[in-house]
Structure 1
């Protein structure tokens, strides 16, 4: 600034002569264009030289944040602004703490490569590192900065960080605690007393989490409120730290009071938009029961959803308690203020680089002019996630007027196409080559296509399929599938080729129906034994398959809520040789516990049941076989089956299998999860339980850039001699 001051003193003498500006020049500009600089200056050739305007211009240039120094000269009416720009940051490194989190550094530091070097921002970045360390329980963190100027004028910045020490909570005391055990309190707070084996996984390490300590009092109060203690008071935490040893004592004072019973529940609406009686019927908080704040919150949300579904987007629900301290009862009152009905002004879609707008729009249940509905809004988000096209979907509401809003639909696309080329070696088939290409959303059209070829010395398999879930964006779907297989087994050679065509319709928001026709030619040759299960010759299958599908889950690959089920009946006997009736049903239930326990634990239950009636001719390859990824893990795929007198697998006519799974995050940034499972299945010819097997294990589920991948580690629990077991399995492209 000193140069600028001297320049201004020089110009002040010139102003007295009332000079006019002939030309304005800028020297040293890099980040600003001359056009923008002229707008900032506010002077033009021909105008009078004005010291005040030049002073204002210099200040405005400094406000841009690009310049280290600025001065002005004038010669023969030519006014020149000279700039020295701040250097750019060419590289940022962190040594020590945070060294392993290089991808997160721009968010943590607030600066990144390519930014202008600014000492104030560097100081702010140091404070952010210290704050980050404190949030993770580290204190006395020291941050030093080393800079290196490169020949091109840019600067390398290195933050040298000593993260300091963890403060360990050695003692947690809660004075006045009677209604709960100390362990129950520690289950819900973030800051806990260190266990004796605190260094072991699964035990509390006692590390202080300073960013959470202010919320722990509220968590304790909330626990009391869930058990009806409306008068409970919890003090702010008192933390005493010995900075010589970094050990701490944490203390709370609690006044519990007595639990309250709900005497009555009342709902008052400022507008008669719905009968209060209808709302009261669905309340979880019941008259005569102990008060529970969690149930009250759910009831408030339920009331809000009911009113919002009538078009009142800005409904407010205000709870109130009328406590009777003598008999410890309370009357719960909800005041409901609906506001005005709201209509959809516009639906604005963004974030889709590949998927066509119309493909997204057809999954949204609200359109311009429609009355607002909260349920429709939630269902729209879930429907978009069920497509499997998007990694994330958000729908924001932007108020346009008192009775209109815009819906801002923001999607983040995920890879939907896979190209795979691979190979392997089997003891029987020798070298195996395979290639496949598939896309669930080809050209962003929403159409699913797949093509695969497998080749070995014993087999050749070809399959092509295409599925359009919305023909011309209607409620009708169309599927086509073609396949051709040649397989040389130990005891026979099978040639199989066929095609299918299916027509479906969306019957309701979650229910879809379809009818598929299948035509298939089979030929068995080179059969080396006589068996009723493997007759040599040609046979034709002509079958029709009606089916129904229900799906109200909230995501395609990793559902956390909802049910996905299907039931189909295949009738073979419309001409051809096959004569049978095959019924099959699948059911999957997903329940996420994050809203309850504040942890992304997802429970899953999956079941499958099948039954076949032999109406004249039932080929062995049309019967049921279980084992493997989709039924009972721990056993080779399709290896659990009744056998003939020679020990050959002949399949079953009745089968049931089910799985219980618990899925938790493994590496959130990589979208990787860890799932524990238990499988149990049965199969038989005359009854379901002729053969039963179970297995258990764990699976790594990864939504990779190439598509969903599962790596399954399993063990059989009740295998028998002769069973074909499998401890490691792999799958790609299927939902979890």
Structure 2
């Protein structure tokens, strides 16, 4: 059998390698993929391997190799026809997924050489992206459109069809957790308010979350080797829904054989923990023989870490290690604690407060630069800043240059509007024209002060209220507020006017929830049967009450009183609360000793309760009660 030209050239030195037909591809890139080199002995097997390697790149439609033997050796000439480059990538038919997201997800890009394997892979990727959003019937195809300049346009066409809803989710192999409990934690397949019984659309991210939650349920019941397999997806006969079958391999249930909680220093030697070994062990509720519960153990270890962090050990580590005995179905748990060095607070930076002054935020902090680190005080500081009501969010992060260095604190806030301006007008057959106006600013000039001005005028009413509040009077822990009012009410037979105000000071007893207040109120009331008018109307001067002692029926004269109050406030936000309780109780005494012509004792209690209902809804319960007696009977 005659030998081929390549076999006859075996062993001869390669003197040259040429590439013909390259337009955009670089010669150096092709040489880098080849084993054949100039100056090395020629091997036919190496040439065959190089041709396959060049072809597998997907950049060429045709590759031919010419071999020429000369006196000096072997000359190789590669005749290559490049595939066209992609001028643009277009999408059509897609409305649920934007072009930018599709383009980012696939490897087919403008300016690259066309690769049909890459096109097929991109088409499947588009189908997968739609399947993750519940469009299991979505179709995708590609089209190559040649252009005059030798380039091409790749056009992907999508037919989305209808989104497929999850009709039913079944579980296989769940012997120890009832199907009802598993369904309670699922998002997939649970109906929403707008699903109308269809079970809701399938979403891959929601299903991944469901798998994680189900795994956690099993871990908390001691099934440490549980496996949740990929679901089996079946289209319903009408092709508008799917049924999911989730197979669970529970494995055995493990109980705790031993649990060791101990502290070691940097050298690995056992040391006495904070609070003592007994106190440390009592902080963990798990006992020998109990079913292993990962969530409860993690919760208890978080309390242990908080104990150390509140003592200044910000980098404490308490990572549990488990040793599983498959035969006995028992697990040994060891939790070594390494406290690390003491850490102090470093710089405290406040960002995002374009309006609110720094000191308004800093005075709510329970931490200070140079103090020992405390996780609890850091979290309480975040809640106190959030409770001001000036911010939509308050994020606190920490960073440390190196272990043992001060811990810097970054407070990032997002401000929200704190001012309101309201104007209203109307007409009534009784009151004639009615006009109202209100201006309120809860964060006046970014100082934390609040100012409210309210006015109302009609044919029968004229009201003006002004209130100013300073939470830190003269930069102390005392709060101060001033209320002023001027009110006129006109009835058919008489008019009543009130002019007065109050001055209130407060001080925290248990900062920041319990505060005590003392207020002084001064008010003058007048009742008259004479003709009285507002800006917009006049009352009748004819009165059947002219012969009656009106002063006995309505407050008349000067009322001078003091009102001590104690309040409890656990609301998460003073302006826009979503949870918490506000309680207050007060006793108001108006006595002749204070120069009051009206004398009484008024007891009043107020309660406001806030409960989050989810989806942005909050339930508020408001209660109020009071009793008024004379000083002699009090």
Q: Give the TM-score band, short-chain normalised.
A: 0.5 to 0.7
C-alpha change, 1:98 and 1:172, in structure 2 (3 Å) is closer
- Answering whether residue 184 of structure 2 is matched by residue 187 of structure 1, we say yes
The counterpart of 2:516, out of the listed 513, 518, 521, is: 513
- Aligned-residue Cα RMSD (Å) equals 4.4
Which residue of structure 2 aligns with residue 579 of structure 1?
Answer: 599
| Contact map agreement 2:215 2:228 (CA 8 A) in 1 | no
Q: CA deviation at 1:342?
A: 1.5
In structure 2, distance between residues paired with 1:444 and 1:459: 34
Alignment of 1:353-502 (within 5 A): 353-403=354-404, 404-490=406-492, 492-502=494-504
Deviations 1:137-170 (A, max 9, x none): 224557899xxxxxxxxxxxxx997544333444
SS of match in other structure, 1:138: coil
| Contact map agreement 2:485 2:499 (CA 8 A) in 1 | yes
Which residue of structure 1 aligns with residue 16 of structure 2?
Answer: none
Which residue of structure 1 aligns with residue 263 of structure 2?
Answer: 269
After the TM superposition, which of the residue ranges 244-253 and 344-353 deviates more from structure 2? 244-253
SS of match in other structure, 2:556: strand
SS of match in other structure, 1:166: coil
Which residue of structure 2 aligns with residue 61 of structure 1?
Answer: none
Deviations 1:463-490 (A, max 9, x none): 1111110123321211111100000134
In structure 2, distance between residues paired with 1:110 and 1:407: 40
SS of match in other structure, 1:444: coil
Q: CA deviation at 1:423?
A: 1.6
Q: CA deviation at 1:97?
A: 3.1
After the TM superposition, which of the residue ranges 216-225 and 408-417 deviates more from structure 2? 216-225
TM-score (norm 2): 0.68
| Contact map agreement 1:554 1:561 (CA 8 A) in 2 | yes
In structure 1, distance between residues paired with 2:568 and 2:111: 58
- Answering whether residue 571 of structure 2 is matched by residue 553 of structure 1, we say yes
> How many residue pairs get matched?
501
Q: CA deviation at 1:209?
A: 1.7
Q: CA deviation at 1:330?
A: 5.7
Alignment of 1:82-231 (within 5 A): 97=95, 133-139=130-136, 141=138, 163-192=160-189, 201=195, 203=197, 205-226=199-220, 228-231=221-224
Deviations 1:584-603 (A, max 9, x none): 3334455668xxxxx66877
Q: CA deviation at 1:258?
A: 6.0
| Contact map agreement 2:442 2:450 (CA 8 A) in 1 | yes
Rg larger in 1 or in 2? 2
C-alpha change, 1:217 and 1:548, in structure 2 (3 Å) is same
| Contact map agreement 2:524 2:558 (CA 8 A) in 1 | yes
In structure 1, distance between residues paired with 2:588 and 2:92: 63
SS of match in other structure, 1:463: strand
Alignment of 1:216-255 (within 5 A): 216-226=210-220, 228-231=221-224, 233-242=226-235, 245=239, 247-255=241-249
In structure 1, distance between residues paired with 2:337 and 2:129: 42
C-alpha change, 1:109 and 1:554, in structure 2 (3 Å) is farther
Q: CA deviation at 1:328?
A: 6.3
C-alpha change, 1:488 and 1:365, in structure 2 (3 Å) is same
Gaps of 5+ in 1: 6-92, 100-104, 112-117, 146-158, 594-598, 619-652, 654-736
In structure 1, distance between residues paired with 2:123 and 2:444: 47
SS of match in other structure, 2:319: strand
After the TM superposition, which of the residue ranges 574-583 and 260-269 deviates more from structure 2? 260-269
Alignment of 1:34-73 (within 5 A): none
Alignment of 1:295-374 (within 5 A): 295-321=296-322, 333-374=334-375
In structure 2, distance between residues paired with 1:560 and 1:277: 40
| Contact map agreement 1:214 1:237 (CA 8 A) in 2 | no
SS of match in other structure, 1:440: strand
After the TM superposition, which of the residue ranges 573-582 and 433-442 deviates more from structure 2? 573-582
SS of match in other structure, 2:436: strand
Deviations 1:671-709 (A, max 9, x none): xxxxxxxxxxxxxxxxxxxxxxxxxxxxxxxxxxxxxxx
- Answering whether residue 563 of structure 2 is matched by residue 565 of structure 1, we say no
Deviations 1:263-306 (A, max 9, x none): 77542222533334334445455677654433223222222222
In structure 2, distance between residues paired with 1:326 and 1:587: 59
Which residue of structure 2 aligns with residue 720 of structure 1?
Answer: none
C-alpha change, 1:522 and 1:130, in structure 2 (3 Å) is farther
Q: CA deviation at 1:211?
A: 2.1
C-alpha change, 1:474 and 1:167, in structure 2 (3 Å) is same
Alignment of 1:651-670 (within 5 A): none
Alignment of 1:678-693 (within 5 A): none
SS of match in other structure, 2:359: helix
